[in-house]
Structure 1
Amino acid sequence: MYDHLELMSIQAEVLYNHDHAGRITTINEPANQSAPRFFWGHTDAGSIVRFRSDTPVRLVHDILQFMGQSDSTGQLANVIRALEKDREIIGIWMGPAFACQEIVKDYTDARLVTEDNKYCLEPGFPTLLSELKFREPCFMVTENNMAVSVCFSARSSDKAAEAGVETLKDYRGKGYAMRVTSSWAQAIRRSGRIPLYSTSWDNYSSQSIAKRLRLHLYGTDISIY
C-alpha cells in the first residue's frame, strides 16, 4: 500500500514524460504536447513539484524557496507571481486526485473494447478508436451497437494508469460513467497497476462519480501553463 506522497509521485510519472534531470518535457500522450511549466501535487504528507525542462534555473530556485515559507494558499500565490513575472501564464488547472483502492462490483458490467467490437466507437468516439492501442484497456457501454460512454487509459506507466472518461451528451445522467470507470479500474488492478482518477474542482459530475465509487482522495493537482 502506497502512502499519499508516493501516490502523487507515481501520478507525476504517469502524467508527464521526464528528462534525465527529472524535469518534465511533454504530456504522456501520443501527441507529445508540451507539459505545463509547473506541476504541484499537494498531499497531507508533503508535495511533489516538477518544473518543465525549459524553466530557468533562477526561477526554479526562487519557487523552491517559496514552497517552504507559508501555507499552501500563500505558496500558490507566490508561485503564480514568480511564473507571471518570467512569462505570461496562459492557463491554470486544479483539482482533486484519487486512487481506486476498492472496486464497487455492482458497476463492473461494461464491455471491454476488442478487435471484434471496436467498430462501436466509430460514431461517437472516432479519435479514441484511432488511438486505441495507446489507450487500452478501454471499456464501453453501448446502445444499438454504438458506444455512448467510455473509460480508457488516458495516460499510463508500468505502475499506474490515469482514467479518461467520456459520455455522449444525450446519454449522461444514466450511471454509464460509473459502469465504465469501475470496469476499467478493475482491469487495471488485475494488471498489477494502480487505477488513478483526477478531475478539476469545477467538474461536479466527475467528482460525484469518484464519491459514488468510493475512490480514495490522496491529494490535489495543480498545473500551471
Structure 2
Amino acid sequence: MHNPLALMNIQAEVLYVHNQSGRMTTINESTNQPAPRLFWGQTALGRIIRFRCDVPDRIVEDILHIMDQGDSTEQLVNVIRTLENDREIKSLWMGPAFTFHDTTEDYTDVTLVTEDNILCLEPGFPTLLMDVRHRGPCFMVTENNMAVSVCFSARSSDKAAEAGVETLKEYRGKGYALRVTSAWAQAIRRSGRIPLYSTSWDNYSSLSIARRLHLHQYGTDISVY
C-alpha cells in the first residue's frame, strides 16, 4: 500500500486537471467545471497543497507562509481569511479520504453495466446513463430490471479512480451500496489502479458505507471554491 502522502498526491491528480506549472485548472470530468481555488490534503506524513491557476502569486505565498504557523485549526481560519481578502468564498468542502483494503468477497446480486443491460439505468439514473461510458467500470444492483444502486468511477486516471455511489431513496438501508462499491473496488484493483473513496463529514450515509467496508482513512482533504 502507498504511504498516506503519496495517496493524497494521487488523489489530487485524480480529482483535478493540472497545467504544466502544477496548478489546477478544472475538475477531472467531462463537464470541465473550474477546480477549487485551493485543495489541501492533510495526512499524518504531511500535506499536499494545490492552487487553481488564477490564484494570485501573492495569495499563494501568504497561504504557504500560514501553513508553517500554528495548529491546523488556526491555519484553516487564516487560509480562509486570506482567500476571502482576494475574492468571496463560494463554498467549502471538507471530509475524510479513504482507500480500500484487499477484498475477495463476491456478491451474486451485483452486475457490471454493459451494452446489453445499460438501459437498466434509465429509470433511476438517467444522468449516469448519458455519461456511463466515461465512468466505467460501473456496477449496479437491479430490481425488476431497474438499477436501484450503482457505483461508478466518478473521476479516474491511469493510477487511481474515485468511487461515486448512488442509491435510490426507497432502496436505501438494504446494503446495496456496500455491495456495488465493493465490486467496483475489486474491478479497479484488477485494472492495476488504486480505488479511492472520499466524502464530506456531514454525509452520514456515505460515512456509514466507509465504516461497513472497513476502509482505511489516509487523510482529510479540503477544497475551497
Could you tell me the TM-score, scaled by structure 1's length? 0.98
Counterpart of 1:191 in structure 2 is 191
CA distance in 1, matches of 2:51, 2:208: 31
CA contact (8 A) 2:98 2:219 kept: yes
- Whole-angstrom CA distance in 1 between matches of 2:40 and 2:140: 32
CA deviation after TM superposition for structure 1 residue 111, in Å? 0.4
Q: Percent identity?
A: 73
* 2:145 corresponds to 1:148: no
SS at match of 2:208: helix
Helix, strand or coil: the match of 1:93? strand
Are 1:163 and 2:137 counterparts?
Answer: no
Kindly tell me the number of residue pairs found equivalent between the two proteins.
Answer: 225
**Any runs of at least 4 consecutive aligned residues in structure 1 with deviations exceeding 2 A, and if so which?**
106-109
1:8-157 alignment to 2 at 5 Å?
8-103=8-103, 105=105, 107=107, 109-157=109-157
Would you say the 8 A contact 2:113–2:140 is kept in 1? yes
Measured against aligned partners, the alpha-carbon deviations of 1:169-200 in whole angstroms (never above 9, x if no partner) come to 11111100000000000000000000000000
Aligned residues of 1:104 and 1:182 also touching (Cα < 8 A): no
Structure 2 distance, partners of 1:108, 1:28, is: 32
CA contact (8 A) 1:199 1:207 kept: yes
How big is each residue's C-alpha offset from its partner over 1:38-97, in whole Å with a ceiling of 9 and x where there is no partner?
A: 000000100000000000000000000000111111111110000011100010000000
What SS is found at the alignment partner of 2:147? strand
Residue 101 of structure 1: CA displacement?
A: 2.2
C-alpha RMSD over aligned residues = 1.0
Work out whether residues 106 and 183 of structure 2, in 8 Å CA contact, stay in contact via their aligned partners in 1. Answer: no
Structure 1: runs of 5 or more not aligned: none
Asked if 2 retains the 8 angstrom alpha-carbon contact of 1:23 and 1:53, the reply is: yes
CA contact (8 A) 1:102 1:214 kept: no
